[in-house]
Chain A
């Protein structure tokens, strides 16, 4: 069955960087786009970024554009989210999901806390 597993979360100071990873299994990874969605504590879902099946197309929410970079390695079935210049408002659980337009299968998420 499809599995999406996020890792790399933790506590980081404002202005620092963190790299999240999403490991996928159970499907033909190189045929699917992958997107990241985050959820601040007690809040709703916020779409963050997406990467196409071959990595040629990448898009970002305005709130993270210029600070976050999405990438993928189809040989390892992983998608990474490099997060730079982190702010307190980036504190959230970050989920990756299989799919380009909508998330068909989701991971449980990894918590990122930006705090001094």
Chain B
């Protein structure tokens, strides 16, 4: 299953809303996770099951979608949210796959 994220780079100002997209080449149901990665750091789980926030993740992060189309929304960007975001499908059985990432940068 190929995961395609768009856009590759998103320029947004602090306080604004950011919408990141992830598309699967075939249905993955709701078996979709989102990760955040900052330079020099390990990835951090944000969302699993397409829409369930992981422990400790702020409510400004929300996930939606099912099947082949998914969205990660950050409602009001904080300075610490500028990072690269990856989606990953885990449908049925491995191998699993990541999208190529969306870089969220300061406008």
Contact = CB atoms under 8 A, between A and B. Distances in A.
A101 B35 CA distance: 13
A59 B97 CA distance: 12
Contact of A59 (B43, B94, B99, B101): B94
A44 B101 contact: yes
A46 B52 CA distance: 23
B94 A44 contact: no
Given A101-B90, A102-B90, A104-B54, A47 B97 contact: yes
A50 interface: yes
A103 B94 contact: no
Interface in B75-96: 84, 86, 88, 90, 93-96
B42 interface: yes
Contacts of A103: 35, 43, 45
Interface in A28-66: 35, 37, 44-47, 50, 59-62
A93 to B, nearest CB: 9
B9 to A, nearest CB: 13
Interface residues of B, number: 24
Contacts of B95: 47, 59-62
Given A45-B35, A102-B88, A108-B42, A59 B100 contact: no
Nearest to A108: B42
Interface in B49-107: 54, 84, 86, 88, 90, 93-101
Interface of A: 35, 37, 44-47, 50, 59-62, 95, 97, 101-109
Interface of B: 31, 33, 35, 37, 41-45, 48, 54, 84, 86, 88, 90, 93-101
Given A37-B43, A101-B96, A102-B33, 14 more contacts: A44-B84, A44-B86, A44-B98, A44-B100, A45-B88, A47-B95, A47-B96, A59-B95, A95-B42, A101-B48, A102-B90, A104-B54, A106-B42, A107-B42
